[in-house]
Amino acid sequence: MSTHHNPPTPPTPPRWPISAILRNLLLFFLLSSIGLGFLLRWLPPPTSGVMLYRHAEDLLAHGLFHTIDYRWVSSDEIAPAAYLAAVAGEDQQFFRHGGFDINSIQSSLAVYSHGGKLRGASTISQQVAKNLFLTPSKNVIRKGLEVWFTLVLELLWDKERILEVYLNIAEFGDHLFGIEAASQHYFGIPAKKLSRPQAALLAATLPNPFKLKAAKPSGYLVKRQQWILRQMQNLGTLH
Q: How many CA atoms lie within 13 A of 68 on its CB side?
A: 25
- The pLDDT confidence band at residue 185, using thresholds 50, 70 and 90, is very high
Cα 128–Cα 129–Cα 135 angle in degrees, nearest 5: 100
Cα–Cα nearest to 203, from 183, 174, 233: 183
Residues ≥6 apart with Cβ < 8 Å to 231: 88, 89, 92
pLDDT at 70 over 70: yes
Distance CA 146, CA 151 (A): 9
Distance CA 112, CA 55 (A): 35
Average pLDDT score over residue span 5-12: 64
The pTM is what?
0.87
Could you please report the per-residue DSSP string of 174-232?
A: TTEESHHHHHHHHHSS-GGG--HHHHHHHHHHTT-TTTS-SSS--HHHHHHHHHHHHHH
Per-residue b or e along 177-206, where b marks 16 or more CB atoms closer than 10 Å to that residue's CB? bbbbbbbbebbeebbeebebebbbbbbbbb
Examine the pLDDT at 48 and tell me if it is beyond 80: yes
Tell how far CA 130 is from the center of its chain: 4
What whole-number distance in Å separates Cα of residue 41 and Cα of residue 186? 29
The dihedral through the CA atoms of 195, 197, 203, 209 has a sign that is negative
Kindly report, residue by residue over 154-177, the tens digit of the pLDDT: 999 999 999 999 999 999 999 999
pLDDT at position 109 over 70: no
pLDDT at residue 114 above 80?
Answer: no
